[in-house]
A and B are shown apart, each in its own frame.
Chain A
Amino acid sequence: MTGIDRQFLSVWKKAATHDGDSEAVQIWTQDGSYNGIDSGKLGIWGTVVGVDFDLCIADGACIEACPVDVYEWIDTPGHSASEKKPFMPREPDCIVCHACEEVCPVDAVLITAPDDIEAAMAGGKAEPTTVEGEVATKEYETPAEASTESPEPAVAVPAWEPKPDTWHKRMKESLEGVELPDTGMAKAKPLFKEIRKQTLDSLSRGKEFIALVHNDKCIGCTQCVYFCNFASIDMIEWGLETRTAAFESKKALIVEDTCTGCTLCVFACPVEAITMEARA
């Protein structure tokens, strides 16, 4: 089996800790031995955000994907797979959206919801991730398609129609090697992150909460569908009284059973049509 050991919380041993921003990050190894960051054998770092540093190839996908900026690079000189790793100093900020898990090309990330940590450590559950467990027991047609055999958290990929993209590819090729000069990205990035953090702090999230779409506000742009990591959003034709006879957009509908309350769709929504509400 490739990828991170999905039972590591119960099977692997606590070996050391590394200072994070507010809380120390746990380091796990199979036999409990850990010889420092330059030893070439690093084990799994993090508890909620578990990353197998020995598998990690440092392509940076998780750092890009994280909406709450949990990760930052840490140098691991002399490691055979890559000489830097995505360290998680802001692990307590994790909103359990599984975005990083989703993008990791070597399947080195395992996110466990804080509420499930104890159970996972006790090894009580065969499937430590809540998402997986929940989806497997539900009868929803959308997630079920993808979830039956897959060992990964069930994510059904909607059947998108492929678009003609010959010229898009040609354009990309023609621009290969054209280095975009510094356009002030360095300034925009922290600015945006700061504002995003303000918004995020004002949102309720977690398993007790669910995303709700306001049909009056939803413009049917489908961005949330692309963003949702749990295939938890469908586009539904409601037959509402439309404002124009020429066009009627579908509205997003959050599938209650698979929504984990991660707030990613709230960010994706361009018109603030999605809010987080407490589950009844």
Chain B
Amino acid sequence: MTRTEPYARTIPHPLFERMIINDANTPAEEPWEPERQHEYGYFPGCVDFMDVEVKFSHLNKGDADHASIAAAAIKLMNAADIDPLILDMNSFKCCGHDQLWQGQLEVFDELKAHNLRRMKESGIGTLVVTCAEGYRTFAVDYDLPGHGIKVEHITQTLRDRGLKFKSPEPVRVTFHDPCRLGRMMGEYDAPRDLIQLVEGAEMVELANSREKALCCGVSSMMYCNDATKAVRKKRLDQGTDAEVQIMLGGCPKCYMHMQCMLNEERMDPGEHNHSFEMLDLMQFLSACLIEETA
């Protein structure tokens, strides 16, 4: 069979992409000031932005619930006595990671200029992000540390906060290293330290872990096709080989794409063997948190 048309290069999800570009090109000139000073700022990022109306929560029959990652992160931070300023989409825009990596540099520059100005206006000392891609973008591409704002992935923020976790039942978990958190930012230990804190959770490593971890297959939402799915399937197969009950991720994109694959497989009962759950680390910790009665 010969191909008559070139391969499609539509970047998923077209409407969402258009919305970010539209947002980037809408200038917001008026200054902004938070109601009060916060040491910590939390940037939920696309997690909630996507989950609003693009309805990622409604896709996959409601299984990929991204808003719950943000809710879990806020709950855990509050439990760790951190009162973060929520850097919401009223004053901020998408961090622009995908646009940068897709080569839409002018869009990224618009987003960066806007967000940098807002970061300075917010007066925060430390920025916390739940998204590994956002973490890399703010720390490296925005160079926030150079502007006097420390950037932390939420696992780094929570690791030494004396939080106590107990799993409702003995469970075998693994951690899927996101590319941006691991290979790019060199953070392998913080999420593992957090998992160690969970009583009753047995942590196993996948066949490829840490520096050699496999990618979820869809970097910066560039494209999804049979090749990227093959990578994802291989990664999920490793979870089966390690006999895990939950695969944990530190990046909403990994979570989303793994969920998508798992849902796709539901159409073909019996043709796969991935009988475990994919959760974001924050969601898992939230389910295991022992709330102290003050």
What residues make up the interface of A, taking CB atoms closer than 8 Å to B? 158-168, 170-175, 178, 180-189, 191-193, 195-196, 199, 214, 216-217, 219-223, 225-226, 235, 240-244, 246-250, 267-268, 270-273
Q: A164-B275, A171-B72 are in contact. Are A222 and B90 (CB under 8 A)?
A: no
On whether A235 and B267 interact (CB within 8 A), knowing A167-B279, A199-B15, A271-B8, the answer reads yes
Complexed CA–CA distance, A18 and B19 (Å): 34
CA A164 – CA B274 in complex, angstroms?
Answer: 10
Considering only residues 263-284 of chain B, those with a C-beta below 8 Å from chain A are 263-270, 275-277, 279, 283-284
B71 touches which of A180, A186, A225 (Cβ 8 Å): A180
8 other contacts beyond A173-B287, A184-B92, A273-B10, with CB at 8 A cut-off? A161-B266, A174-B286, A199-B15, A219-B229, A223-B59, A246-B234, A271-B14, A271-B224
27 contacts between A and B (CB under 8 A): A164-B277, A167-B283, A167-B284, A168-B279, A171-B286, A174-B286, A175-B71, A181-B74, A182-B88, A184-B88, A184-B92, A185-B48, A185-B53, A187-B89, A189-B53, A219-B226, A221-B264, A223-B60, A225-B267, A240-B1, A243-B225, A247-B227, A249-B264, A250-B268, A270-B14, A271-B8, A271-B10
Interface contact tally, CB-CB below 8 A? 187
B residues contacting the other copy or chain, number (CB 8 A): 71
Interface assignment of B243: CB less than 8 Å from any CB of chain A: no
Give Cα A216 to B90, complex, Å. Answer: 39
Nearest chain B CB to A227's CB is how many angstroms away? 8
The 5 A-B pairs at the shortest CB distance, nearest first, are namely A184-B89, A270-B12, A246-B230, A217-B8, A247-B230
Could you say which of A173, A184, A216, A270 contacts B224, with CB atoms under 8 Å apart? A270
B residues with a Cβ closer than 8 A to A are 1, 3, 5, 7-8, 10, 12-16, 18-19, 22-23, 44, 48-49, 52-54, 59-61, 63, 65, 67-68, 70-72, 74-75, 86, 88-92, 168, 171, 223-227, 229-230, 233-234, 245-246, 260, 262-270, 275-277, 279, 283-284, 286-287, 289
Q: How far is the CA of A270 from the CA of B225 in the complex (A)?
A: 12
Chain B minimum-CB-distance residue to A181: B86
Known: A183-B86, A247-B233, A271-B8. A193 touches B53 (CB 8 A): yes
